[in-house]
Amino acid sequence: MSKIILEDVWYKNIVKGVSMKAEEGVTAIIGPNGSGKTTTLKIIAKALKPDRGKVVTPSKIGSSWQNPYYTFTKAEVAEEFTEIFGDRRKVEEFLRTYNLEDLVSKYTFKLSMGQARLISILIAISWGPEALVIDEPTNGLGLKEKRMVENVLKSIRIPVIIASHDLDFVLRVADHVYLMNDGHVIAEGPTLDVFYSDRLSALGFPEPYAVVIGRKLGRRLRSIE
């Protein structure tokens, strides 16, 4: 089974001795702006070579980045997927399962930010990757689309690593969390353990609403739906 392992990884003055492990399921990196989340993801995706440290990853890694338009290499949404599926009918079928069939014939550069994000994530998952790296999977997405991404990430049976500021989303979707600050991992563990510790408030992060309510009820909630 595919795995991602980082051991004492350094990159310039940005990532300082990070160790991480991700297996099947969703692992999230959280932390303030500039803490090294994106750089860590880029090292995992082999877009950056670390100065030192050990990086073990499967060879086929799908990725989607903060600017989702970077994913696109074709003019039309259909062309992006036809390259993977081989035939346009299959593309339409595939997008229909996500209620996105309206986007089939759209120009990729004309997609809204959120639509581009969804398409970029779907491209990343559809060519059979052995691991997935996604930076800010929910930026530009409304609640309905967030739920869709949540279901997609939960249903694929490979290691998925996301970096996100969307703590409510992370709490719902991630099995394991790494909290970064200033290039270091300052806390890690099962998502509920990290979120129900005082680690987030120590950084000045307001707690997700589910945590606020959960504390009042004396239960560790992931969501309040």
Partner 1 sequence: MAFIEIKNLYYRYPTSDTWMLKGVSLRIGRERVVVTGSTGSGKTTLLRVISGLAVKVYGGDLLGEVRVEGRAVYVPQNFDLYVLMPTAREELTYILANQGLSLAEVEAEIRRLSDLLGIKEVLDQNVMKLSMGQRQRVAIASALSLKPDILLLDEPFAHIDPKGVVELTKILKNIDATVIIAEHKLRYIGDLVSRLVLLKDGVIDYDGPLENIPALDPDIEWPLKLLVREGS
**Which residues of the chain form contacts with partner 1 (CB under 8 A)?**
31-34, 66-67, 110-115, 117-118, 136, 139-145, 165-168, 200, 203-206, 209, 212, 224-225
Comparing CB distances to partner 1, the nearer of 2 and 64 is: 64
161 neighbors 131 (Cβ within 8 angstroms): yes
Least separation in angstroms between residue 21's CB and partner 1 is: 24
Least separation in angstroms between residue 56's CB and partner 1 is: 29
102 neighbors 59 (Cβ within 8 angstroms): no
Chain length of the chain? 225
Least separation in angstroms between residue 109's CB and partner 1 is: 12
Nearest to 77 by CA among 49, 134, 116, 47: 116
Comparing CB distances to partner 1, the nearer of 73 and 112 is: 112
Comparing CB distances to partner 1, the nearer of 106 and 176 is: 106
Distance CA 37, CA 164 (A): 8
Least separation in angstroms between residue 203's CB and partner 1 is: 7
Distance CA 64, CA 114 (A): 13
Write out the two tokens for 106.
């759209």
Comparing CB distances to partner 1, the nearer of 55 and 213 is: 213
